[in-house]
Amino acid sequence: MDISVVVPLFNEVESLPELHAWIDRVMKAHGFSYEIWFIDDGSNDGSWSWIEKQSALSSEVKGVRFRRNYGKSAALHTGFLEASGEVVITMDADLQDSPDEIPELVRMIREEGFDLVSGWKKKRFDPISKRLPSKLYNATASKVTGIQLHDFNCGLKAYRNEVVKSIEVYGEMHRYIPYMAKQAGFGKIGEKVVQHQARKYGTTKFGLSRFVFGYLDLMSISFISRFGKRPMHLFGTLGTLMFLLGFLAVGWLGGYKLYQQFHGILMERVTQSPYFYLALTSMILGTQLFLAGFIGELVSRTSTERNHYLIDKILK
């Protein structure tokens, strides 16, 4: 099969018939064999009823229904597990992503050798209150991940099938699938300017809180990818530095006290100095950080994923 289209959705029954007809028209015009996986993320507006009826009429339409709303990451992960096409396309169900972009995305995967191609909605129809935070967020994500993309959160993306089978999307990490792919060894990541459609039906399911959660997720995935299997490298280093800083400060205070006593200079007690308590706090925090790293190493060593590595080829 040429293409699997994965469409996560939540209460989008109004747009589904038009989206399906549009995808079908594009696929047939270019002679692609395809399947569409509609992942119903707990809709209560009749979306699943439409998917059931359409699946009975068309062998290309397939679906998965969650009992409740789990979020976009869960829907994408489930769709990735089911997708069997050579190229996997993800797109939102609200008609803001144009299926007309699919042929060029597929060409970039097949002919230019990209592992992943992310859409860039260069000209957006969103209000400035969403565009400005989005620009700042994307700039930060590019800096932290080292992947030069203008629109991490664009739902329209194309992947080699091997990519989606090698990553696990969870929580709210769908924003960082390119980074997950890079960490899994798929480093050829491209970008394509795509058309942004104004929303035709319903209202957005994401608020401004996604930018706050996006930064937290960025910190989380960055930490896990760098120190998930070696927590002592981070906590142990920080703990050692803080302990040594406090120890040296206490040593300096004690040595200065002895110097003054030796020369008969009156001085307040060491415990009356605020620097003593700052140094002591630094030593305590350093010890706690070191122990946190040690405990993290113990947990890591018992993990079944400790020696799980993504192997490309084996020659024997």
- Whether 280 and 141 map to the same domain: the answer is no
Per-residue pLDDT band for 315 (boundaries 50, 70, 90) equals: very low
Judged against a pLDDT cut of 50, whether residue 265 lies above it is answered with yes
Where does a domain end: 192, 227, 262? 227
Domain annotation covers residue 47? yes
Where does a domain end: 227, 254, 282? 227
Mean pLDDT value of segment 142-149: 87
CA distance 301 to 114: 35
Q: How does DSSP assign 9-68, residue by residue?
A: ESS-TTTHHHHHHHHHHHHHHHT--EEEEEEE-S--SSHHHHHHHHHHH-TTEEEEE-SS
Domain annotation covers residue 311? no
Long-range Cβ contact pairs of 73-76 (< 8 A, separation 24 or more): 73/169, 73/170, 73/171, 73/172, 73/173, 73/174, 74/41, 74/169, 74/170, 75/8, 75/9, 75/39, 75/41, 76/6, 76/8, 76/39, 76/169, 76/174, 76/177
What's the confidence (pLDDT) of residue 126? 67
- Whether 169 and 71 map to the same domain: the answer is yes
Least confident of 28-32, 117-121, 207-211, 272-276: 207-211
| Structural domain harbouring 270 | 231-301
What's the confidence (pLDDT) of residue 160? 97
| CATH code for the domain of 117 | 3.90.550.10
Where does a domain end: 169, 202, 227? 227
Percentage of residues in the chain having pLDDT higher than 70: 86
- Whether 223 and 239 map to the same domain: the answer is no
- Whether 134 and 210 map to the same domain: the answer is yes
Tens of pLDDT along 273-292? Answer: 888 889 999 999 999 999 98
What's the confidence (pLDDT) of residue 223? 73
- Measured in residues, the chain has a length of 316
Give the global pTM: 0.74
Mean pLDDT value of segment 126-149: 80
Number of domains in the chain: 2
